Amino acid sequence: MTESTTTTHPFDDALELERLSAGSYVGRTSAAYNNMVGPFGGLTAATLVRAVQLHPERLGDPISLTINFAGPVAEGEFEVVARPVRTNRSNQHWYLELSQNGEIVTTATALFGTRRRTWDDDEASPPAVPSPTDLDAGGFPEFIAWARNYDMRFASGQLSETESPNSATALWIRDTPPRPLDFASLTSMCDAFYPRVFQRRGKYVPAGTVTMTIHYFATADDLATQSEDFLLGTAQARRFHRGYFDQSAELWGTDGVLLATSHQVVYYKD
Amino acid sequence: MTESTTTTHPFDDALELERLSAGSYVGRTSAAYNNMVGPFGGLTAATLVRAVQLHPERLGDPISLTINFAGPVAEGEFEVVARPVRTNRSNQHWYLELSQNGEIVTTATALFGTRRRTWDDDEASPPAVPSPTDLDAGGFPEFIAWARNYDMRFASGQLSETESPNSATALWIRDTPPRPLDFASLTSMCDAFYPRVFQRRGKYVPAGTVTMTIHYFATADDLATQSEDFLLGTAQARRFHRGYFDQSAELWGTDGVLLATSHQVVYYKD
């Protein structure tokens, strides 16, 4: 038996919020989760989920989240305000703002709720891909700090300097070091797909997510089943049009159940 | 040449907002656009787009909208507040609330923006279906008031009493009487797909959209090209799980370009 230590996971360090009052918090950007410019959007989204989870009036677990990246987040402190807008019997609607120096840099709405047993069906199914042990780790350049916190195994769509006829990608992903999946880390992984325009153009172009919507299917039981194992992620764009494109992503559990989807709009120029 | 009349389209009547101050309006539910319970969500979404469009500080056209159906909307008056949260050089983030008697019944965030010419690509393509003239009109029962304002021609997924192995549907849709497409009507049509659980179960069960996100690809030029012609809509669910399922929809122009997508979460029980 190994001795227990007090070391926390880098993701938990990055998520830390200091409570000012119910629904009002101070957080800090984390160098370990920086993107090319500013923090990794997945971490910002996870921080907003955490802000709701810490609220004393919170009801249930995430059903959906829409986060709008309204302006650049500078390195340093930020303030988060999470307000329960309406509480029903089995669900609850939230509005959130993240600000720096009094200026709003991120907005979000979230729906939390409780679930019940009823007729269930998994209509969609995951794509057939090699298992993670049969794929090489890697796929992101070393200078993308946040990506170093994930063990990624690309089945297709690894970043390359070749133009691709389509934007589809499939990869296995989990935290490194491994960490049991929770709603915050599932949220973060929903944004782990680099802008699809890079894949189509075979090069970096200016691009950034402006809005991302996550739909959660996972229950607490599903998260416990998944634990530290790899998730299978897929993403693809539909249309690149006049400076904005979409990308829809699916995150599948190791046992083939759909845990979450995300749908983004990304600004780009070329 | 026919004489001009002052008759407005029912959709424009239903969308009407009375301005109280910049970003603050009073509207009224419209019997012609009622759903089984309360107003058609597509009309509510269109009303919020209209509220932004009427704001003197509005910049550009819709890029995305997330609307959260937080509680039932009663017949009668409602108040809409639209607040520009952050304005950048080429885009603008909005937060909106719709209230009745001081209680919030709907929340939304919207992104508006201007577009620029850049590298463009239509990666996805519409499904092959018969032309609208080769399909019969109909598909919704007569008691769904809002559906009577649309000419719908189902290629697949017409409401029936047969359980279906999948939830996919494809239909042509336009306003009746015809009306040139604009951002409000495109928004409304994004919600024209009845809950996918009805199709899977071959029966009505309690179900209602709790959140819907629309991504707009259409520019004003695309709308002008489309004008009064049929749009092709497709929708499908991925997973029905413990009381919530998703449905993603695509709306295609007659010339095969993707005009908008919508991604919903729907509450259901069975």
On the question of a common fold for A12-115 and A132-270, the answer reads: yes
What residues pair up with B64 in beta bridges, in sequence order? B111, B215
H/E run at residue A46: helix A41-53
Min distance A107 CA to chain B CA atoms (Å): 8
Report pLDDT for B1.
43
CB-CB contact of A15 with A42 (8 Å): no
Domain A132-270 part of CATH 2.102.10.10: no
Of A116, A237, A258, the CB nearest to B239: A258
Low-confidence ranges of chain A (pLDDT < 50): 1-2
Structure tokens at B193: 């797909």
| Selection from A197, A172, A209, A165 nearest residue A70 by Cα | A209
pLDDT along chain B (270 residues), means of 10: 68 97 96 91 98 97 98 97 98 98 97 96 97 91 90 94 95 97 98 96 95 97 97 98 98 96 96
Domain boundaries along the sequence of chain A: 12-115, 132-270
CATH architecture of B10-113+129-268: Beta Barrel (2.40)
Read off the pLDDT of residues B238-251 as tens digits, 9 standing for 90 and up: 999 999 999 999 99
How far is B177 from B74, CA to CA, in rounded Å? 27
How far is B145 from B198, CA to CA, in rounded Å? 18
Report pLDDT for A5.
59
Dihedral Cα A9, A15, A21, A26, nearest 10 deg: 120
Segments in chain B forming alpha helices (H): 10-15, 41-53, 183-189, 196-201, 220-226
Report pLDDT for B5.
58
Report pLDDT for A1.
43
Handedness of CA B209, B216, B261, A231 (dihedral sign): negative
Cβ distance B242 to A211 less than 8 Å, yes or no, reads no
Query: Which residues of chain B are within 8 Å of residue A219 when distances are taken between CB atoms?
Result: 241-242
Q: Is the ipTM of this complex over 0.90?
A: yes
Query: Which residues of chain B are within 8 Å of residue A213 when distances are taken between CB atoms?
Result: 66, 213, 263
Read off the pLDDT of residues B42-88 as tens digits, 9 standing for 90 and up: 999 999 999 999 999 999 999 999 999 999 999 999 999 999 999 99
Give the CATH superfamily of A12-115. Answer: Acyl-CoA thioesterase, double hotdog domain (2.40.160.210)
- For chain B, give the longest Cα–Cα distance: 58
Handedness of CA A54, A56, A62, A65 (dihedral sign): negative
Min distance B235 CA to chain A CA atoms (Å): 13
Interface test with B, best of A83, A91, A117, A119 (most B CBs within 10 A): A119
Cβ distance B111 to A71 less than 8 Å, yes or no, reads no
Of A97, A109, A197, the CB nearest to B107: A109
Cβ distance B121 to A236 less than 8 Å, yes or no, reads no
What is residue B188's three-state secondary structure? helix
Structure tokens at A187: 């949220």
